[in-house]
Structure 1
Amino acid sequence: MSGNVADLVRRAHDGDEAAWGALVDRFAPLLWSVCRRYRLSATDADDVAQAVWLKLLEHLPRLREPAALPGWLATTTSRECLRVTRVSGNRQEQELVEDVVPENRAPAVDAGLLRAERFDALRAAFAALGDRCRALLALLMRDPAPGYEQIGVELGMPVGSIGPTRARCLDSLRRTPELAALLTVDGGRG
């Protein structure tokens, strides 16, 4: 199921199970990527994801800006990961968390604006790529990602050239003026 985030949030709020499923399908990789940064075990990551989806279900009626859902999910997942690492008492993971989470956070309004700006820059940079790169990166971003064999068939590419082509496409994406400027402002963290 496709649709923009705000539309899916509204429909999920109205009880549309397909919209809820689309939100979970679309944003589960985001939750897992945050959990990976905290190096949680698979069990802890499952617990975090379940807690975040439950919190979203509880907060869905109160989301002020539905289009900002990805940022809300990332922040909530990060907080839940912090909670899990504190409960586990694992000092090594706690030190990693302190390295990952910046001390000086921008206010929530600024953070939302920054996320929107980054998303717009990424979308513009992606649109500036050639057709082949856009098609390849779009396939690689599917959830679940297809295997290289399937990608090779769909794009008519030898399997051995997919990895190097992916690297060149990502490099091209980073060098687009939209993202290059953003990466310079973010100090390369974007």
Structure 2
Amino acid sequence: MDVRRSSNALERADDAIVAGRAMDGDVAAFAVLVRRYTPMMRAYTHRMLNASADVDDIVQEAFVTAWQRLPELDDPAKVKSWLMRIVSRRAVDRLRATRPAVDIDDLEQPAPSHASPSRVAEAKAEVQALGAALNELPEGQRECWVLREIGGYSYDEIAEELDIPVSTARGLLARARKYIIVRMEEWR
């Protein structure tokens, strides 16, 4: 009866007490930690390894490592996070071991076309040409175009912003677009 009472008291004890006793070599206390944290460690490992059959092996290896390294535990109250770090490292090690190794020299991938030096230079020249075309527009047309095409304003918002009728905003924008299309024809 005394053994059962002692076991129940150990089950209810907080992590600092249980881990402290386990650090002193109490196998029963370590068994409490195993029962207490196995479900969480299994769930974590299950997620990390995408439901692999290795889950139980990794959790068991983590507990073996924990038992061997218990003297290194600085704060017995933090045994939970310490155990989770161990199982996490074990899971990552297993992922690395099962991931196929690919030699970087075997991969010959061209740079994406939008990032090639010639495309970058072309894009800069196109932006400069657009800037020059916008500078050639009358001020009202330029303001309408910028508010609509860059700012995403509606016709009503443009009219309100520039304090002009909506019909005027539409006309200015139409003329600006026509000029930009003609001026930027070579960039199509």
TM-score (norm 2): 0.45
TM-score (norm 1): 0.44
